């Protein structure tokens, strides 16, 4: 995959403080039953969240088109609130299943939640000029590891992201990446609570 931009503006990335949680609305994971590709999404029938942060508290459903496996997740209750899931790491924030989109890259593991997440990373990694327009505290790009931001690793990381995009189109257990297994590196719960007059 060429890292040369097709248009001058493609070499410039504007970081408006995109949160990782934005990409948790659709997560590709390894099915717990057959080892193929399963999908984790908000449970059907729920209202569209007003804020991205609500995605961390919405009930989820895991479904596998390959074997028919289905599982549900609901946020833990604590007092009058719900404990939010914590995004990050190579497991999904809800069921703690290994992410489907994982590959070995630069001696590490490169991962993403879905194709939209991959595209966002490609836009950032491939940019020759990166401009920040928001506070770095919660932004996804500022928290990326140094090896992903390094200009010397750009081509290698872009090739890895290209591999992830290809994986997104595969679903059989035999298509599973050798990097997609449990590591126990998922962050702990934030400990933050969401109050909305009761659970969903």
How confident is the model at residue 154, as a pLDDT? Answer: 93
Per-residue pLDDT of the chain in tens (200 residues, 90 and over written 9): 444 444 444 587 666 568 899 999 999 999 999 999 999 999 999 888 888 788 889 999 999 999 999 999 999 888 778 888 889 999 999 999 999 999 999 999 999 999 999 999 999 898 877 666 666 566 788 889 999 999 999 999 999 999 999 999 999 999 999 999 877 665 554 444 444 443 33
How confident is the model at residue 183, as a pLDDT? Answer: 73
How confident is the model at residue 80, as a pLDDT? Answer: 76
Q: Where are the beta strands (DSSP E) in the chain?
A: 12-15, 27-30, 37-42, 60-63, 70-73, 76-78, 81-83, 101-105, 108-112, 129-132, 193-194
Question: Structure tokens of 96?
Answer: 């703690």
**Residues 173, 22: contact at Cβ < 8 Å?**
no
C-alpha span between 160 and 193 (Å, rounded): 36
Q: Checking phi first, is residue 45 left (phi over 0); if not, alpha (psi -120 to 50) or beta?
A: left
C-alpha span between 152 and 58 (Å, rounded): 39
How confident is the model at residue 150, as a pLDDT? Answer: 92
How confident is the model at residue 3, as a pLDDT? Answer: 44
C-alpha span between 149 and 141 (Å, rounded): 9
**Residues 57, 194: contact at Cβ < 8 Å?**
yes
Q: Checking phi first, is residue 182 left (phi over 0); if not, alpha (psi -120 to 50) or beta?
A: beta
Cβ burial, residue 80 (10 Å; 0-12/13-18/19+): exposed
Bridge partner residues of 73 (DSSP): 60
> How does 29-61 read in b/e, with b if 16+ C-beta sit within 10 Å?
bbbbbbbbbbbbbbeeeeeeeeeeebbbbbbbb
């Amino acid at each position: 995959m060429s890292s040369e931009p097709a248009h001058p503006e493609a070499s410039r990335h504007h970081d408006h403080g995109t949160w990782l949680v934005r990409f948790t609305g659709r997560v590709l994971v390894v099915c717990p039953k057959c080892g193929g590709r399963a999908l984790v999404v908000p449970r059907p029938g729920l209202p569209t969240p007003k804020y991205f942060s609500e995605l961390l508290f919405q009930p989820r459903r895991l479904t596998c088109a390959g074997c028919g496996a289905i599982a549900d997740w609901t946020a833990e209750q604590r007092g009058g609130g719900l404990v939010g899931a914590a995004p990050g790491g190579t497991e999904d924030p809800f069921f703690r299943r290994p992410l489907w989109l994982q590959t070995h890259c630069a001696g590490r593991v490169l991962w993403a939640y879905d194709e939209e997440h991959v595209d966002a990373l490609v836009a950032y990694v491939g940019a020759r000029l990166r401009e920040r327009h928001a506070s770095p505290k919660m932004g996804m790009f500022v928290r990326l590891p140094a090896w992903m931001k390094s200009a010397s690793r750009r081509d290698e990381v872009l090739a890895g992201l290209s591999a992830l995009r290809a994986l997104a189109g595969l679903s059989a257990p035999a298509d599973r990446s050798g990097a997609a297994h449990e590591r126990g590196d998922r962050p702990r719960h934030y400990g933050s609570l969401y109050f909305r007059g009761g659970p969903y």
